[in-house]
Each structure stands twice: as C-alpha cells, then as structure tokens.
Amino acid sequence: MTNKVLSCVLFVFLWLCYACQEGQVKDTGETSESTGLDSLDHEIKNRGQIETSHAVPSHLEMSTLLQSLKLPYLPALLNSPDNLKLYTDKNFKALNLGVYGVDFGYMNVYGKGGAASDYIRAIKNLAESLEVGYYFKLTTMEQLAFLGKQDSLTHIMNFAYNQTDHYLRSVESENLSALIQTGIFIEGLYFATQIMKDNDSFEIMERIGVQKATLDNLLIMMGKYDRDALFADLTSDLQALKKEYDKIEIIYTYGDPIQKEVGGRLVVEDNTTSKMNITQEQQEKITEIVAAIRSKITQPQ
C-alpha cells in the first residue's frame, strides 16, 4: 500500500517537473524558419507573435543623444525625488520607476552621477516596493556614483532595468513591466520635447518622430490591461498622442547594406535612409500631450 502511494506521489512529482520544463523553454514563435518577406509581413501585421518588450528604447538612449549634441544640462526637467511620497499605489510606483530611471540616466550621462544619490535611493525604494529590489545594488551604485565611474554605473543600472523586465514577465507581472516602459517612454519624450522648445535640432526632432513605432508597441502592451481604470486612462492618453503621431510621415529609401569582416567581427553599414516630415504644429501638439501625460504620472491626484 505504502509503495503504491509513494509511486503515485512520485509520478505526480515527475509530471509536474516535466510541465515546469515545458514552460522554461520558450516556444513562442513556432513558425518554420522564415526568410520570405510575405511571412514576416504577415507577422508584423499580427504582432501578437512578436515580442515587443524590447521595442521601447532604454532609459539612456534619449539622454545620450542630448549629451552628444552638446545641449546644456537642464536639472529643472527632472522629477524631484521628493515626489516619492506621492507614489503609494503599486501602479504609480512602476510608472515612476521608469521615470526616475530616465532622470538618473540623464544626470549620469551629463557627469552628474555624484549628485544622483537621491535618485538612486528613490529607484531602490520603488524597486523594493515592487519586489525587484534585488536587482538594484544600492551600495555598489552609490560607490560608483561617488567615484565618478560613469560607464560602470550606466551598465549596472541598464542591467538592473533589463533583469527587472525579464523577472516581471517571468512571474506574470507584465502589467508592471508595461507601466515601467510607459514611464521610460514618456519621460524620455518629455525631455526631448521640452528641449526642442529652445533648440531647433533636426536630430532631436527625428528622435521624437521615431517614437511613433515605440508608441504603437506600447499601446499593444498597455491595451492588454485596459480593464483597469489607470491602464484605460493612460491608454486613452496614449491614443490621443498616437493620433498626432499618425500625421507624421516617414519615407524610407532602400539601399543595399555593405558588409565586411574586420578583425573577426562582421561590420555592416546599412544604406537604407529615412526622411521624416514633421511640422511645427505637430511637434507643438505632441509636446503639449506628452507634458500632460507626464504630469499625470508624476503628480498623481
């Protein structure tokens, strides 16, 4: 009798282990190897089969562009860490984890990492509330900031945000991941649009324009949870932004890429070029909508 019970328990245990392994190995894109355009086009239309979480630029990319264009550092754009006390709701914590990530990236890229201690603590605080504090090593980050190790700090912070995203997806908390990405998206766009008010830069304008594709992906992510009031409200705001973005025209001219092998690396220069048509009016409208969404996120009522 004991043997039979034991056998049953072990059988169930083994079956569970097998089931767990099934989940461990991703099998999402079960299509056969595809190089044909028709097949990819089909999948682009049906984006449910394409992983979109990487489609939101990292919290660092906009800041790096601003710095590379030698634009002045504007601390007034940052969301004050004093606002941390306003974020009592889990969803707002996630949104502002994204926002503070961009703020920190901006400070660090401009060599102000040493003054970013309050931001690092705000990030750690929010991350802990969302049970992802493990990925943000406070002491290490503060030491690197103090020592002015800008590159290491950037790497550690980027890594922490990516591992957070992987983790939240793995524990079926994609809603929080979508909110972090929304915070990153809006804060980056807020910086760019505010800076464009006083700087007529083609590079920034183009970077604002290319967020059209990011926005589409974000709406797919956010749309899954629009039964929640906050998600529905944000999705509606992002839809209004998309309406303006849809007026922007991007023209691509195809050119064959050039490939060569250099020191064991494959070096490719793409010759497809893009031209973006965005009017002053469209830009102003986008600036206005982004500022309103950013205010809702950072100053919850």
Partner 1 sequence: MIRRSIYVLFSLAMIPFFGYGQCNEELVNKSAELLKDYTYIKDIKVSMRQSNPPTTQRYSIILSRGTRYRITTINAEEYSGELVLKIFGQKGIMVVSNYNPVKDKIYKVLDYTCKSSGQYFIEVSFKDGREGCAVCVIGFHQKIPAWLEKLPMD
Closest to partner 1 by CB, 65 vs 186, is 65
257 binds partner 1 (CB under 8 A): yes
Rounded CA-CA distance 294/297 in Å is 5
145-164 residues in contact with partner 1 (CB under 8 A) are 151, 154-155, 158-159, 162-163
Nearer Cβ to partner 1, position 122 or 218?
Answer: 218
> Which of 217, 235, 283, 298: binder of partner 1 (CB under 8 A)?
217
Q: Is residue 202 close enough to count as binding partner 1 by CB under 8 A?
A: yes
Q: Which residue, 145, 70, 141, is CA-closest to 107? A: 145
Give yes or no for residue 200 binding partner 1 (CB under 8 A): no
Q: Answer yes or no whether residue 13 interacts with partner 1 by CB under 8 A.
A: yes
Question: Treating both helix axes as pointing N-terminal to C-terminal, what angle do 174-196 and 202-223 enclose, rounded to 10 degrees?
Answer: 160
Where in 259-278 is the site for partner 1 (CB under 8 A)? 259, 261-262, 264-276
How many residues interact with partner 1 (rule CB under 8 A)? 84
Show contacts of 131-136: CB within 8 Å, 24+ apart. Answer: 132/164, 132/167, 132/168, 135/159, 135/160, 135/163, 135/164, 135/167, 136/160
Nearest distance from C-beta of residue 57 to partner 1, angstroms: 5
- Which of 8, 10, 86, 115 contacts partner 1 by CB under 8 A? 10
Scan residues 58-97 and list those touching partner 1 (CB under 8 A). 58, 60-61, 64-65, 67-68
Helix (H) or strand (E) holding 139: helix 138-147
| Closest by Cα among 95, 88, 109, 71 to 205 | 71
What's the Cα-to-Cα distance from 76 to each of 107, 191, 194, 195, rounded to whole Å? 11, 10, 11, 11
Residue among 46, 76, 82, 254 that touches partner 1 (CB under 8 A): 254
Query: Measured at the alpha carbon of residue 87, what is the angle toward residues 81 and 92, in degrees to the nearest 5?
Result: 110
Among 1, 4, 24, 280, binds partner 1 (CB under 8 A): 24
Q: What is the CA radius of gyration of the chain?
A: 22
Take residue 274 and report the two structure tokens written for it.
Answer: 């893009």
From residue 97 to residue 136, what is the string marking binding to partner 1 with x (rule CB under 8 A)? ----------------------------------------
